[in-house]
């Protein structure tokens, strides 16, 4: 498959690891590079993990600790055997002269490696994210070269990552000296209440849009209409009695699990105290 047909999806943990590596860089290092790990399926490169590779860049050469990268990749394979090398990353907002040299190494490690740049300098007030593939150029029998061509890149999240990001977003703006920058996880009921409030506001927004379209106050959007239709069809059809019965059954199961866990906890605490009792 041609590299131009690829789409890159990056998980948030990758960006956190890149920023962490950039903050821990040596004082004389202006750029940090590393290996991207993930999977490739049907033209989609999903980047789920990464690690930093120590290196030094000079005017005419690049020195990278490739043995360190191989050892770290082998250790990661023991924990996550489904993660393979899919490319490499670098901090900065542009492709440098040394990028082609580094890309040649990763071209030997995987097919069509992607190059991800993360703008940790926050130019424009945001952390820019770009993805590239290297396209060979040249004429037969003549000089050859390569050109880094941009490809689509987007962020994607698993459900646990979404919960973590929403929790981290609550620390934004807590820069005052008297305010803490730590946020404790909410209780289950508080999370349900917050989710229900947000869901209600979204439903009100959808109802307002539909009413405006019916009243010819806003032009209709076919894409939005299809998504609303899919949303309605995804709702299970059940009566109020069936929903109440299902909800009560789930609550009973949850209470049973909580009761059993509390009993096990009490038994373990009692066993621990009996173990440390003095014996005559």
Task: Write out pLDDT tens, residues 9-43.
Answer: 999 889 889 988 888 888 777 888 899 999 998 88
Output the pLDDT for position 165.
Answer: 78
Look at residue 95 and give its three-state secondary structure: coil
86: confidence class by pLDDT, cuts 50, 70, 90: very high
Output the pLDDT for position 9.
Answer: 92
Comparison of pLDDT for 217 and 236, the residue scoring more: 217
Q: What is the mean pLDDT of residues 79-103?
A: 86
Q: What is the mean pLDDT of residues 103-109?
A: 86
**Which among 117, 76, 120, 80 has a CA at the least distance from the CA of 98?**
117
Output the pLDDT for position 236.
Answer: 81
Gap between the Cα atoms of 106 and 116, Å rounded:
13
Output the pLDDT for position 173.
Answer: 60
Q: What is the mean pLDDT of residues 188-208?
A: 86
Output the pLDDT for position 235.
Answer: 80
Distant-in-sequence, close-in-space partners of 90: CB < 8 Å, separation ≥ 6: 31, 32, 33, 34, 96, 99, 102, 115, 116, 117, 118
As a three-state string, the secondary structure of 36-78 is EEEEEECCEEEEEEEEEECEEECCCCEEECHHHHHHHHHHHHH
Partnered with residue 91 across adjacent β-strands are 118
Q: What is the mean pLDDT of residues 78-97?
A: 87
Average pLDDT for the chain: 84
Helices (H) and strands (E) in the chain, counts: 7, 10
Neighbours of 212 (CB within 10 A): 13
What separation in angstroms does the CA of 17 have from each of 44, 257, 259? 21, 36, 39
Give percent above pLDDT 90 in the chain. 21
Q: Is the pLDDT of residue 256 over 90?
A: yes
Q: Integer distance in angstroms from the first to the last C-alpha of the chain?
A: 77
Among the ranges 59-68, 131-140, 254-263, which has the highest mean pLDDT value? 254-263
């Amino acid at each position: 498959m041609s590299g131009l047909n690829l789409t890159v999806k990056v998980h948030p943990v990758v960006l956190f690891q890149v920023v962490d590596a950039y903050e821990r860089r040596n004082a004389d290092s202006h750029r940090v590079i590393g290996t991207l790990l993930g999977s490739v399926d049907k033209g989609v490169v999903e980047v789920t993990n990464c690690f930093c590779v120590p290196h030094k860049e000079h005017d005419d050469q690049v020195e990278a600790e490739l043995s360190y990268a191989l050892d770290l990749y082998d250790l990661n394979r023991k924990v996550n055997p489904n993660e393979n090398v899919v490319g490499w990353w670098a901090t900065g907002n542009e492709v440098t002269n040394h990028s082609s040299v580094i890309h040649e190494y990763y071209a030997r490690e995987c097919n069509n490696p992607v190059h991800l740049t993360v703008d940790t300098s926050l130019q424009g007030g945001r952390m820019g994210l770009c993805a590239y593939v290297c396209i060979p150029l040249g004429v037969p029998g003549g000089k050859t070269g390569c050109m880094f061509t941009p490809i689509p890149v987007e962020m994607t999240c698993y459900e646990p990552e979404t919960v973590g990001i929403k929790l981290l977003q609550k620390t934004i703006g807590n820069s005052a000296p008297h305010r803490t920058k730590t946020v404790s996880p909410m209780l289950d009921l508080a999370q349900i209440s917050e989710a229900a409030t947000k869901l209600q506001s979204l439903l009100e927004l959808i109802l307002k849009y539909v009413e405006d379209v019916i009243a010819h106050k806003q032009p209709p959007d076919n894409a939005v209409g299809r998504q609303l239709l899919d949303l309605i069809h995804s709702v299970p059809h059940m009566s109020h009695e069936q929903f109440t019965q299902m909800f009560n059954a789930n609550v009973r199961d949850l209470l049973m699990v909580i009761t059993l866990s509390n009993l096990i906890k009490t038994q373990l605490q009692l066993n621990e105290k009996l173990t440390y009792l003095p014996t005559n």
